[in-house]
Amino acid sequence: MRILIRATAALLVLVTYLSASGQAVQEPFPVKRQESAETWRRDGWNAIDRSKSQKIRKGKAKNIILFLGDGMGVSTLTAARIFEGQLRGESGEENRLSFEEFPYSALSKTYSANQQTSDSAPTMSAIMTGVKTDEGTLSVDQGIVHADYKTVAGHETKTLLEMAEDVGKSTGVVTTTRVTHATPGACYAHTADRDWESDRDIQIRKKDAYDAKFPDIARQLIEFRHGDGLEVAFGAGRNKFIPNTKADPILPNVKGERLDGRDLTQEWVAKQPGSAVVYNKQQLAAIDPKKAKHVLGLFATDNMQFDKDRVDKQLDEPSLTEMTTKAIDILSQNKKGYFLMVEGGRIDQAHHAGNAYRALQDTVELSNAVRAAVGKVNLDDTLIIVTADHSHTLTIMGYPARGNNILGLVREIGTDGNLEPDYKRDQLGRPYTTLNYTSGRGYTGATNQQAEGSKKYPADTRGVKGIAKGRPDLTKVDTEDPSYEQEATIPLADETHGGEDVAIFATGVDSYLIHGSMEENWIFFVMADAFGFRPK
C-alpha cells in the first residue's frame, strides 16, 4: 500500500513499502506507454526509416552555431536525459535531450598535447583552431611555455571566430561563466595562461608578464582586431572589466579588480556606434536586435548562477536559452552570416563540486537552448554542432530498476523478476546511490576527515560527520536534495575531469562529416569546411 506521496524539486516521487530501518522506500517512476515485443520492433524499424530518409545537406554554410557543454560527458548525458524525463513524472530512460535527435554523431578524443585528461583551455583551443596544445593555454600552439608571455608571439593559432570576422561575418560568444573563462576565451584570445583573465590576475600570478603589460583576456576581447569585433559577448565576470576604484554598476558595495584604471565596459561602448552594455535580464530583453551592433552582457560579477538557483531565487539573470535566442536575433541581421559559440559552462563547475543535481539541470537547460536555436534557423544554410570539451568522473552504477530515481538510492529487480521491497545494500549493509563520483569532496572512506561542505554549499547535506568505519548509512539522508554531494572514491578538494571520449552531435550543412571516432581538433575542420575556409 502506498503510504506517502512527496514532491521534491518538481520530481513527483511515489513512495511505497518500508525499508529495514523503517524508512519509506521510493517506488520507481512509471513507464508512460504500454510496451511489448512489437513496440520495440516498431521503434527499431521507424528509426531505420528515419535514417534512410534523412536529408544530407552539402555545400557552404552561412551560419554556424557551436554548443559546448563544459564537462558534459556521456554519463552526464545519460543521467540528464533520465533526470529530465523524471521531471515530467516519467521513467526517464526513454527520454531524449533535444540534440540527441540530431542525425549525425561521433566520439571525440579529448587528450591534449601534453595530457591524457585535459582541462578546458587546450580542448576548446583544439576545437576553435584545429591545433592541439598544452594544458592551461589558449589558442596557441605547443611551442610555447606555459605562463611564459615571451613565448606567445609567433605561436598564436587563428580561431574560427577570427576567420569569420575577417570575411565580414558577425560573431558571438554566450556562456554562463565569465566571458573571460577558458571556453569563451579560446574563441578570441591568445595567452600563455588561461587564468590571466584580468591584469590583476597576471599581477598575482606572473609579475614579469604584468610589468610587460601583456594583454589580459578581458583586454583582448575589447581590443579584438579582426573585422569590426565581436557583435555579441554574453556571460559574466564584470569584475574583470571594471577598475578597482569604481563600484560595480549593480552592486554598489562591490568594486572591480582592474589595476590599470581602465573601464573596459566604457571602452566597449565608445569603440563603435551602436554598442551597448547590459547587466540584467530586463536590459537584455529590451535590446532591439535590428539596431544593436555590438552588445556586451555582463550579468554577474563572477560566474552566473546555476540554473537551479536562478529559477528558485527568481534572479534577474537571463537563462542560457534567453541569451542564445537574443544572440541569434542580433547576429542574423548580417546577410553574410555568423558564427556563434554557446557554452553551458556551469555543468563543469557543478561536477567539480560533486553536485550532480545542478550539473544535470544545467545540462537540461543547454538542451533547451539547443532546441530554441534549431527553431530559429534554416538548417539548409546553418550547421549546428553540440559537443563537450572533456568529461567528468560521474558514474552510473548498481543495477537500479527502470524508473529508479536517478538521484535516489538503488532498488533492484529480484531474481523472481519483481521489484525488491527494499534498497540494495552493500557489504556493510548500507544502501547506495546510482550516481557517484570517482573523485571529489564527497569521500566517505575509512577516515575521520570527512568532507563537511564548502563555501558554496556550507551545509553538511550528506548527514555524515567523522565517519571512521567506512561509508555512511544513507537510509535517512535525502540524496535528492539539490545540494547533496554524491559520494566519491578518491578524496580531493574538487572532483576532476574524466579522460574518456565525449560525444559530438550535428545537424545542418556538412553535419554528415561528424561520424566515427574523431580527434577533437577535427571539429574545427568540419566547421572551417562548412564556411569554405579551406587553404587556397
Any idea which residues carry the catalytic annotation?
Answer: 120
Angle, helix 74-87 to helix 356-374, in steps of 10 degrees: 80
Q: Kind and range of the H or E element at 411? A: none
How many angstroms separate the Cα of 199 from the Cα of each of 153, 211, 217, 220? 18, 10, 9, 11
CA angle 116, 387, 505 (to 5 degrees): 125
Alpha helices in 23-130 (DSSP H): 37-53, 74-87, 120-129
Three cell numbers written together for 464: 555524515
The answer to whether the beta carbons of residues 272 and 290 sit under 8 Å apart is no
Q: Which residue from 472, 449, 452 is spatially nearest to 461, judged by alpha carbons? A: 452
Helix (H, G, I), strand (E, B) or coil at 426: coil
Three cell numbers written together for 95: 527520454
User: SS3 letters for 200-213?
Assistant: HHHHHHCHHHHHCC
CA distance 484 to 454: 12
What are 437's strand-pairing partners? 394, 488
CA distance 459 to 183: 30
CA distance 403 to 412: 11
Q: Which residue from 26, 32, 4, 25 is spatially nearest to 90, judged by alpha carbons? A: 32
The answer to whether the beta carbons of residues 117 and 499 sit under 8 Å apart is yes
CA distance 100 to 93: 13
The answer to whether the beta carbons of residues 399 and 413 sit under 8 Å apart is yes
Q: Kind and range of the H or E element at 61? A: none
DSSP string, 151-195: GTTT-B---HHHHHHHTT-EEEEEEEEETTSHHHHHHH--BS-TT
The answer to whether the Cα torsion of 73, 79, 82, 87 is positive or negative is negative
CA angle 218, 219, 224 (to 5 degrees): 105
Q: Which residue from 233, 227, 215, 218 is spatially nearest to 275, judged by alpha carbons? A: 233
CA distance 232 to 321: 15
What are 138's strand-pairing partners? 191
